[in-house]
Every structure is written in C-alpha cells, then in structure tokens.
Structure 1
Amino acid sequence: MTSYPPRNAILQDLSRRRLLKAVGLGAAGAAGAGALSACSAGGGSTSGATQFTGVFDFDLDSMTRNVHREDGALLLNSVYKDLFLCPGGVFNWSTHEWDYLLLEGHEWDGDDLIVSLRSGLKWSDGSDLNADDMIRSYAMRVLEAPPWGFGFPQVQDLEKLDDQSVRVGFENPFPNIERSIIKHRVVSKVTYENFGERALEMVNDGVRQGDDEHAEWNSEFIEFDPDEIVCSGPYMFDEAQMSDARITLVRNENGYQGTEVEFDEVVIHKGDNRQSALLVQQGEVDYSSLAPSAADQQAFQSVEGFRWIEHAGYDGVGLMFNHKAKPEVQDVRVRKALAYILDGEQIGQVARGEAYSRVEYYAGLADIQAEEIFTSEELADFENFDQDHDKATELLEEAGWTKEDGRWYLPDGEEASFEVIGVAGWGDFELTATQVEEAWNDFGIKTEARNVPEDNPWGIWGAGDFEVAVRHWGNPEQPDYWGAFQMNFLTENAGTEDSPGQGFDLQVESPSQGEVDLAELVDTAQRAESDEEQMEALKALSIVFNELLPRIPIWTYKYLSPAIEGKRVEEFPVDTPTSQNEQYQDNHIILALIQGELKPVRD
C-alpha cells in the first residue's frame, strides 16, 4: 500500500494554508493600508472600459510563463486561471455533470476516451486551436504525471483522429478517470513546439516519468520560460498594463467566449491575505477568494455593497493519530473518548471565524456528500461526537484508564500524555492544535501543542514523526465520494518502514460490517462497474469510519469569499446550478463571468 499525495492537492493546499494566517486590523492593518497606496491609486479604468477586479499574491519576477508547469506559473494557482487558459470543462459538484468550455464533449469507446474540441477555436495570437494543441498538451502531462495520480498516469497511448478529436487509450479505466483529461488546460502547440512533439513520441513509445528519456526532456522543460502566455480564454494578458502592483487582462476576441463576456477587462491586484482584506474594505476588489481572518470578516460588514459568496467545503480539519507511536489509541473507545472531550463548534469558530461548519455525521465525508448517499433515516443511526464529558469518562474507564488527582492514567499505570502538532503559519491549524491542547489538559490528559515548519508537513505526516497531528479529512480535490476515504484511510498510511504515517491497520473488524479490508473496499468504491456495487462500498466505508473513528473530524471548511455589488459588478449569482462547486477547482463565479452571466454596472 502506498501513500497518494496528489501534486495539485499539495500545491493548492500550500497556497491555501499560506493565505489562512490569522490577521487583525489594528496598527498593523493601518500600516498595511499605507503599503497599498500604490495598488489602489489609478486602479479604475481611464478608457471607460467595464472592469471586474480581483486580487492574488503574484510575483512577476519569480513566476514563470510556462503555464503547463502549473507549479510557480503566473496566476495558475489562482481562480482567475480559467479566464485566460480555459479547461476543457468545469465540473458540477452537485449534479456530477460537465459544463463544457473548450470541449464539445467526450465519449467512451471501450477503453478509449474520445475527446472532441469545439470548432472554430483560436488562440490569442490568431492561430487555430485544434487537436494538435490538445494531443501535444496531453502528452506533456502524461510525462509529468506522477504514478500515484489518477487519469493521465493511466494513459497508455494517444492518437489524433481528426483536426478536432483525440483518442486517449486507457488500460482498465474506472468511472470518471477522465476527469483530469477533461479539466486539462491545453497550451499552444507553437509555444511548446520543441516539447510537444517529442513528448507525444515518447508517450507512445512507453516512456513515463522517471525514465531516462523523460529526465532529459524534463531538465529542459522546467527551465523553459516563454516570453508571453498565449491564451485560449475570453481574456489575455496586456503586457503594457502589467506591473508589480496589478495585472490587467483584456478582452481576447479570438478566445472562447471572447465576444460574449460582459466585462472588457479583468484587473488583478497584487495582495496577500492582509492586503486582500484591506483592498476589499477600500472598495478596490469585487471578489476575493483569499481567506479573511475573523477580524476582517467583521470589518467587511461596513463596506457599501458588501456580501458573502459562500463556496461549499468538501474537506475539513481534525486529528490524525499515529497508532504505532501511541498504542493506546488503537482502542476505539479511547479515540471516541478523545473526540467527546472536544467542542468542535468552539474550535471551528476560533480557528475560522464564520468560515467553518460543524460536523453532523462523522461519516468521513463532508456532510453535504453524506446527505447525497444516505437517507435521513440512515444518517440518524450515525454516532454523533458532540462534546460529552460524561461519555468520554465512561469510555476511558471501560478502556481501563483511571483518574487520580485530576490526571488520567493508562491501564499500565503510566500517565496519559499526547503531543499535538499544528503547522507554523497555518493559522487555523495552529489555533486548532492549541484548543485541543487546552481541552485535553482541562479534562486531565497531559497534552502539549507545538507547530512544525510549514515547508514540508506532508513529509512529517508520512514519516510518522508525530503522536497526534492536526490534519485534513475528506477530499476537496476529488468530487467522487471514494476520494474522501482514500484520504482518510490511505493517505499517510503506507505502512512501510520509511513511511509508516498513521500506522492504522487497514484490516479491521466492524461491529456491523464484520471483517473489512479497507484498501480493497476503497478500490471497489473507485472501480465498481455498477452504481449499486459502488454505493454499497461507499456506504460501508462511511459506516466503518463512524464506528471506528480512525481520525477525528472537528470542523468543515466553509469558504466565504468577500464580494462587492453595485460598484463595478451589478450583482453576483445566487443559488445557481453550480453554486455547490469547489472554490479553487471549479469556481462558479468565474464560470458565470466566462458565460456572460456576470453583468457590469452600466452608467
């Protein structure tokens, strides 16, 4: 069994966590406002062009224009990427259907995926966007794809069928394996001419990541930094209006929806979490996906036209146990007792302000997903772990723990103790760790919280260098329900000497399901050939998670994005068919902008 840390998940997670540093609005806020004077001065359009404004912490000097790399590419970790480099489609997380953008559609022919482009597409340089761009982009991604990913790593061969269509050959595909292909951002065959053709030949010859041929190709590719980004979307970069303070995207009439979008320009101010909040308060930003602190959330209420855009959360934060380092947590009664000690409502409020939801079902899935696969009657049978100190005491005593002079002791007489690690700079993780420390100490269990460096917590988690770790549960990268259980059970649980991770035994005894091989059950949920078989596996995984509680969900992300109506944007859509989309992957506000549904204020 191996650990599966998806690269895009890591990159987006890195970006997200850096934006979650808790900030206030005292003297430091006033100082920050001064630093923003260069950003806000002259921010309006001087030509009468309609503008949509956003904010992201970009760096023109360090970020590459090699947008096929994604890691470190200009604006590729922002929600604005879809505006200039459209994916094939945007996934609807509620209906599990596609809103196609560059693609006309896709279909399966046995183990072959046939992907077809819209006709008449062009790049911002006026050249045709066709199957040559698509197949070469796919080939480059196959070479770049790590073997533990899903989609491109399983591609066997590629074939151009005609000017608009490509055949993507798989071996033993499973449902929705095509998602990463459909969402892929095709790049210009002219820009990547020296890489695309070579990549296609290597892929069809069986070369993959790690092979000698790939290493030689990759050494050149990672150094490649073209002078400009050729765009496929409704907007393109205006080099004359790019500075350290802002980037201006102008209408790309050659691009997809370039003549249908309602705004002439999109201005993206430079700003980190603190600066983003101040820009919103100054009315300079219409929409921001950068996470505001609790203090910022309060300050926004006085801004004219302010409203929240809520994006659903499909993951949350809780506690991951190291079952090898602390054998006492191998007793499910202990894990449940530790959960009952905590007040998830309070921890979420302190860690995230308004931007959290409490956990209702403890099913391993976000509640929004649990409600989609279980009936209300079925969910009523799930054990709820809201704070209950009497229940916690009862469970610990059943497990053989004893309490003397206000301290809890293990069955062997040793005093119970835990170290809980957060991550330095990840504000919500830090605050969650300190609150767990306080709650368990107050209950009589000696606990100490500390923070590990933010540069590589994944390595620490995977290596099992912890006793209890503040860690994610659920899965914001994978809309399919099985993704949450891959995260909960398999990620950081390789079980090898070098990567023991959680050290949780995947061969379990469930009170209701009997003997269960969790790795096999996750595989069944992923690859089941019928909906009935898949649903049966998913329900079993949820029930086992609730019964055994291998990790403790504490709170769920609720992404609140500040927005301003009536200044540049007439109004933002509410309760649209895509409003349950994940914010960073399939942002429904950006989709509305692309589709021409977002309207400017007209004089």
Structure 2
Amino acid sequence: MMKKRRIALVIACVMLANAMLAGCGKSGNEASDENTNTQTAVEQNSAKAAFVGGWPYSTMPTGHFNMFSANAIELKFYRELHQLPLATYVASEDAYEPMLAESWEISEDGTEFRVKLREDVSWRTEESFTSKDVWTTFMIYRLVGNPVWNYVSDMEIVSDNEIVFFVKKPTTLILRYVLRKPMVDYLTYGEYADKVQTLLDEGKTEDSEEWTELANDFNLYRPDCVNATGPYYLDKANISESNIELLKNEKSFLADTVQFDKVIVYNGDVADLTPLVMNGEVDFLTHQFPVSTMATFEQMGYETLQVPGVDGMAVYFNEAVKPLDRKEVRQALAYVIDRNQVGELALPEVSRGTKYVSGLGDSLTEEWVDVSKLIDYSADETKAEELLQKAGLSKNSSGQWMREDGTVFTLSLQCPMTWADASTAASEIAQQLTAFGIKTTVEGIDESMRQSKINEGDYQMAMSFFGSGQPHPMFSYETPLVMSGKGLSYEMVQDTDSCGQVDLNVLLTEATIGWEEESQRDAVEKLVLTVNETVPYLPVYTKWSKYITSNGMRTDWGTDDSVYKNSAGDDNFAVIKILNGELKPAK
C-alpha cells in the first residue's frame, strides 16, 4: 500500500507541475485535454511494459527463498519465468520442447538418460549454467526425497554441458521428473549438494540419522536471493504484501525473446483480486470466479478461456468409522450421491459431475481403460438400498438407516468453508444423503487443517482433491492413496471381484515401469478397476476451469491454440507463450 501511495503522490506532483506550465500559454481546457492525453499515454505504455497475473504467497519472514521447503516464494507456474526447466511440455503432442536442455536421449539398453545442455545460458550472477547446476538440483531432490530417485540410481557429469542419469527402473516418467524441474544453481545450493554426496560416499542412506539431520538442517536454510536463468528475476526488493515484480533479466538468453519488460504477480485469492480485474489491471488469472462475476468481466472485454477438466473434488471415506469399512456401504453412498446434480450446483458452468468413478479425470480414464469394465455409479437409490441391506443395515419406521448394532447411521462431511464450490457441493451431498435416510451434517474447517485431519484420520467423510493435470495416471493416485492412504484406513492389499487380490503399492510401481506406455496399461487398468470397485474415495466433480485473459484488451495471445490442452497448474500455457514471445502487449 505504501508503494502505491508513493507512486500516486509522484503522479499527482507531475500532473500539478504540467498544469502550472500549461497555464502560462494555453487555455484551461487545452491544458486539461493535453494532460488527459499524456496520462492516457502513460497508462498505455505501462500496460504494454508489464504482464499482470496473480497467485497467493507469503511475505518474509514466513515466505523465503529456499525453493525446496514449505512456504517458499515460488509463485507456482510463474517460477518458470525466472528459474527455467530443462524443457517445457505440450500436451497436444505429448512432447517435450527444449529449454535449458538442447537434447536428450535414452541409451539403447535403457540404462542411461543422457541430457545435453545449451551452451549459451548464464545465471544472473554471470556464472555459466552447467551440468554442475543440474547435478546440484537433483542432489537436493535426493535429500528431500523426490520420487525421481525411485527410478534413478546416480548421475555423472560428463562435461560442462552433458550429464547422464543412470536408470534404476526404466519408466516414461523419467522424462517428466527430469525435464520439467526448474533448475537451481550450485552457487546457492552447492554446499548442501556436496554434503549429500559426502553422506553417499560414506555409505549413508536416507534412513540414517546423519541423513535426517542434514535434511532437517536444509529445511531451515534460507538463501538471501534467487538466482535466475529465465528472462525475469525475483528479488526481495520487489516483494510487497500486495504484489511481486519480476523484472527483466538482461543476462538471460531469452531476454530479447520475451515481449514484456516485467511480470507483476498480485498476492491473494478471488476476493483480493476481483477489484484489480474490475479496474482492468489484470492479464491472466487461474482463480475461479462466480458466474455473475465472470459475466461482468466478459462485458468489460475480458476473454474467457475454458479448458477440459482433469482434476476436481472427491469425498474421502474414513474406513476406521463403521460401517464405512464395508465396501458395500461406500458403493451405496456412491449410488446415492447424484454427481451430475452436485456438479451443476458447485460452480455453475465450471464444475461437472464425474462420468466415471476411477480416480482419474474422465478423459484420462477413457484413454487408459476399457470403460465397459467399470461399475456405473449413476444415481440409483434402489441399488443403494440393496447394498446397504447386504452390509447388514436396515431402515426403521421413520425411514432412517440403522447400523447392525441398532444405532442410527449418521455421517459428518468435513470441508474447508472458504472453498466456495466445495462448500456448496458438501451441502448438496449432505442434503441428498439425509433425504435418503442417512442424516449427514457439514463440518466447516479451516483450509489449513484439511490435509492434516485426513492424514490423522480425524474425520468421517472429507472433501478433498482427486485427479491431476500431469500426463500419467500414477500422479492421480499419489495424493489419495500414497499421501492420504493411512488417514483413509484403506488397506493397500485388496480382494476384488474384478482383479482378484491386488497389491496397490506393487501396481503403482508396475504402472510406471517401461519406456513404452503399452507395457504399463495392464497395471493401470487394475488400479482403476480396484478403485472403481472398492471406492476408497468418490470423485464427485471435475473443474472445467474458466480463466480470464486480457487478450484483445491489453495483450495479444497469438494464434497457437494447441497449448491450451496443457494443465494450467502443471504446464502453464501463459508461461510458455511468454517464454516463446508469442504473448505480447496489444498494439
């Protein structure tokens, strides 16, 4: 706020001085017209100089510059504007495009993944970007337990511009795990990377006390700055409570390619950013606004960009709460909840009820699985009643479902109350279950408590995420089954009608093994069929997100529509268009 006030004061002084000078030789109306034109020109030039977006972040001291630790000021996808990855990804072609990497290849025997780097890249601190920096990045990822090290055993620096990753388990995921990571520098993180190597040389493993101590120490590490290879840079001098200015990094090889002098990222969520859009000051947001608000934006001239749904909200079931431990009960709840109705209400024109109960987005399900094998959980109260009776439940004279022990079957559904669409969905789900005879209440919680409550099993049912924008089914199962599995009280070994006895941990590994996706399909299908039959969580709706852009108002987004198939969160199309120079100020 202080910065804005200072700017406003300067502008006011300039306008006053202009008015005084104009008064010496022009009429008041002529002077006023000239000042208005000058101000308009200044505003237009300012709009052309900056691309304006938004993302919530924490300021210092909570926020910090350790990009591997919680509360880092990384700005989600905007980070790739200052710390480039080795490559970008284009979903329409299922292909990676070189960025810091010049090329890459898999050895004929599949045991090596070799990456060659561009030779014209330097950091803002003027050191050359080399294989040592790539090595540093992945040594830190090894320290913090990144899953890339489930598939890679070691690295070797061949030269300043070539590095080899030795493959432990062949997988198509190596391309994503290696090529899509923003690179950091040895100058900032090398001390810790070297310490990791020392522990490895001493035969220490991730389970050792020394490793844990180093990881804990690194978690508290707070660098003074963020080095940049990208066309913009992040500096603490340009961070305020209201926004962050990413200024042009003239030392970047992309400095002459990008079309904006700076990128401004405003801090906050929907309520914080709505006034900025109303003032016509924003060029792109991934935030989801109410229908009426979006209609107002469109009337102002903002364009709406809607992308296919790949992720959304699900109901997680705590199987430690009886009778949710019975598969038939969870299946019955899936039949009671009308997902299409919930999707229509949660966030109109954006949320859509899931077609398949698979744990994946609908399009990814159709791409990987024979959907005719899936149980169709379209709303059907008759099937729900049959399943509950099979599980030993019964209805009393008042139409309420009773547990086997004679107590009334009631449920509670947790949901962060600041999540407008999820809260609306939770209320509708509770009403549907209550009308069916299972009295259900909504328990509003703080957003920060959501994951911890699920992990600790402190809930009966909970609204949380499912699906992923990343282009492999395995990523969709990481959060619910791996991260949250213990809190679900869901056994990873399941006896199923569709696949017999399955070990989901084994399937999650097998679903990623091999350099060709065809070799992974059988395991992926078993994963999907198991989730579909046992329903550890119920995907309720996906978000066909609508994003606002200032295309035609303040900016020109070019003609390449293919990148809009990318996930905005994982492979952001606006960032790609900025980096390749296609996104530019409007003429």
Q: Is the 8 A contact 1:65 1:229 kept in 2?
A: no
Gaps of 5+ in 2: 12-41
Q: 1:49 to 1:293 in 2, by over 3 A?
A: closer
Partner of 1:134: 134
Q: Name 1:166's counterpart in structure 2.
A: 163
Report if the CA contact (8 A) 1:136-1:200 is conserved.
Answer: no
- Most deviating of 395-404 and 438-447: 395-404
TM-score (norm 1): 0.82
The alpha-carbon distance between structure 1 residues 562 and 112, as it changes in their structure 2 partners (threshold 3 A), is same
CA-to-aligned-CA distance 1:285-318 (integer Å, 9 cap, x gap):
00012332445334323222x1222344432212
CA distance in 1, matches of 2:190, 2:430: 55
Equivalent residue for 1:518? 504
Equivalent residue, structure 2, for 1:388? 380
1:315 aligned residue (311, 314, 322): 311
In structure 2, do the counterparts of structure 1 residues 418 and 254 end up closer, same or farther at CA, with 3 Å as the change threshold?
Answer: same
State yes or no: 1:593 paired with 2:578.
Answer: yes
1:242/1:468 CA distance change after superposition, 3 Å: closer
Describe the shift of the 1:532–1:238 C-alpha distance in structure 2 as closer, same or farther (beyond 3 A): closer
Alignment match, 2:331: 336
Counterpart residue number, 2:433? 440
Letter in 1 for 2:316: M
Which amino acid in structure 1 is aligned with residue 125 of structure 2? D
Residue 572 and residue 142 in structure 1: after superposition, are their counterparts in 2 closer, same or farther (change >3 A)?
A: same
Distance 1:369 1:65 in 2: 36
Deviations 1:25-47 (A, max 9, x none): xxxxxxxxx99986996895767
Counterpart selection for 1:373 from 364, 368, 372: 368
Residue 506 of structure 1: which of 478, 493, 497 is its match? Answer: 493
- Once the two structures are TM-superposed, the CA of residue 408 in structure 1 deviates from its matched residue by 2.0
Q: Distance in 2 between matches of 1:518 and 1:197?
A: 36
Counterpart residue type for residue 489 of structure 2: Q
1:191–1:411: structure 2 CA closer, same or farther, 3 Å change rule?
closer
Could you tell me how far apart the structure 1 residues matched to 2:387 and 2:305 are?
42
Taking the aligned partners of 1:151 and 1:481, their CA distance within structure 2 comes to 16
- 1:274 Cα deviation from its structure 2 partner: 0.9
How do 1:251-330 and structure 2 match up within 5 A?
A: 251-304=248-301, 306-327=302-323, 329-330=325-326
Distance 1:408 1:64 in 2: 49
Are the structure 2 counterparts of residues 163 and 85 from structure 1 closer, same or farther at C-alpha, using a change threshold of 3 Å?
same
Superposition map of 1:190-269 within 5 A: 190-207=187-204, 209=206, 211-215=208-212, 217-218=214-215, 221-237=218-234, 242-269=239-266
1:352 equivalent in structure 2: 347
Q: Distance in 2 between matches of 1:286 and 1:62?
A: 29
Q: Check whether the contact 2:493–2:501 (CA below 8 A) recurs between aligned residues.
A: no
Contact 1:135 1:200 (8 Å CA) reproduced: no
Deviations 1:52-86 (A, max 9, x none): 11123334433655343353222x14321111111
* Residue 478 of structure 2 corresponds to residue 492 of structure 1: no
Q: Are 1:465 and 2:458 matched, yes or no?
A: yes
Q: Tell me the equivalent position of 1:61.
A: 60
Amino acid at match of 2:94: H
**Which runs of no fewer than 5 residues in structure 1 stay unpaired?**
1-33, 495-499
User: What amino acid maps onto 2:380 in structure 1?
Assistant: D
Instruction: Say yes or no: does 1:540 pair with 2:540.
Output: no
Compared with structure 1, are the counterparts of its residues 505 and 69 closer, same or farther at alpha carbon in structure 2 (3 Å cutoff)?
Answer: closer
The question of 1:581 aligning with 2:573 is answered: no
Distance 1:282 1:205, change over 3 A: farther
Residue number among 561, 567, 570 corresponding to 2:547 in the alignment: 561
> Equivalents in 2 of 1:206, 1:426: separation in Å?
47
Q: In the aligned structure 2, how far is the partner of 1:39 from the partner of 1:83? A: 28
Normalising by structure 2, we get a TM-score of 0.84
Worse-matched range after superposition: 361-370 or 515-524: 515-524
Query: What secondary structure sits across from 1:107 in the alignment?
Result: strand
Distance in 2 (CA, whole Å) between partners of 1:503 and 1:254 is: 52
Alignment of 1:401-416 (within 5 A): 401-403=393-395, 404-416=397-409
Taking a change above 3 Å as real, the CA distance of residues 48 and 355 of structure 1, as seen in their structure-2 partners, is closer
1:326-370 deviation line (CA, Å, top 9, x unaligned) = 1355142x3232222222233234333333222112232111101
8 Å CA contact retained: 2:316, 2:462:
yes
Q: Does 1:50 align with 2:43?
A: no
Secondary structure of residue in 2 paired with 1:79: helix
Question: What residue in structure 1 maps to residue 99 of structure 2?
Answer: 101
Q: In 2, distance between residues paired with 1:339 and 1:139?
A: 44
1-side partners of 2:228 and 2:43: how far apart?
Answer: 24
Q: Is the 8 A contact 2:55 2:75 kept in 1?
A: no
CA separation in 1, counterparts of 2:582 and 2:86?
19
1:8 — aligned with what? none
Q: Which amino acid aligns with 1:351?
A: A
Cα separation, partners in 2 of 1:241 and 1:208, compared to 1, 3 Å: same
Worse-superposed segment, 248-257 or 47-56: 47-56
C-alpha displacement of 1:548: 3.6
Q: How far apart, CA to CA, are the structure 1 residues paired with 2:504 and 2:156? A: 37
**CA spacing shift, 1:135–1:522, aligned 2, 3 Å:** closer
Cα gap change, 1:504/1:194 in structure 2, threshold over 3 Å: closer, same or farther? closer
Task: Please state which structure has a larger fraction of its residues in helix.
Answer: 2
Match of 1:7 in 2: none
- Provide the rounded CA distance (Å) in 2 between the counterparts of 1:402 and 1:106: 62
Deviation at 1:253, TM superposition (A): 3.1
Question: CA RMSD of the aligned region, Å?
Answer: 3.2
**How far did 1:121 drift?**
0.7
Whether the aligned pair in 1 keeps the contact of 2:415 and 2:462 (CA below 8 Å) is yes
Question: What is the rounded CA distance, in whole Å, between the counterparts of 1:475 and 1:47 in structure 2?
Answer: 37
Which stretch of structure 1 is more off in the superposition, 585-594 or 183-192? Answer: 183-192
Superposed displacement of residue 160, structure 1: 1.2
| Identity percentage of aligned residues | 25
Aligned residues: 552
Q: 1:182-197 to 2 correspondence within 5 Å?
A: 182-197=179-194
CA 1:129/1:379 → structure 2, altered by over 3 Å: closer, same or farther?
same
Compared CA separation, residues 133 and 38, structure 1 to 2 (3 A): same
Q: Which has the larger radius of gyration?
A: 2
Task: Give the aligned residue type for 1:585.
Answer: D
SS of match in other structure, 1:537: helix
Q: Which moved more, 1:402-411 or 1:273-282?
A: 402-411
CA distance in 2 between counterparts of 1:223 and 1:45 reads 44
* Pair 433,595 (structure 1): closer, same or farther in 2 beyond 3 Å: same
Distance (whole Å) between structure 2 residues aligned to residue 381 and residue 112 of structure 1: 38
Letter in 1 for 2:163: V
Give the equivalent residue in structure 2 for 1:480: 472
Task: Pick closer, same or farther for the CA change 1:274–1:411 going to 2, 3 Å.
Answer: same
CA deviations on 1:376-424 (whole Å, 9 max, x unpaired) are: xx43554432333344334434555433222222355432222222234
Q: Contact 2:66–2:223 at 8 Å: present in 1 too? A: no
| C-alpha distance in structure 1 between counterparts of 2:121 and 2:86, whole Å | 12
User: Is residue 492–residue 503 contact of structure 2 (8 Å, CA) maintained in 1?
Assistant: no
* Deviating more after overlay: 584-593 vs 103-112: 103-112
Match of 2:19 in 1: none
Give the Cα separation in 2 of the matches to 1:140 and 1:485: 25
Deviations 1:234-264 (A, max 9, x none): 1224776554433322332321422111222
Tell me by how many angstroms 1:537 deviates: 2.1
CA distance in 2, matches of 1:184, 1:37: 35
Letter of the 1:389 partner, please give it: E
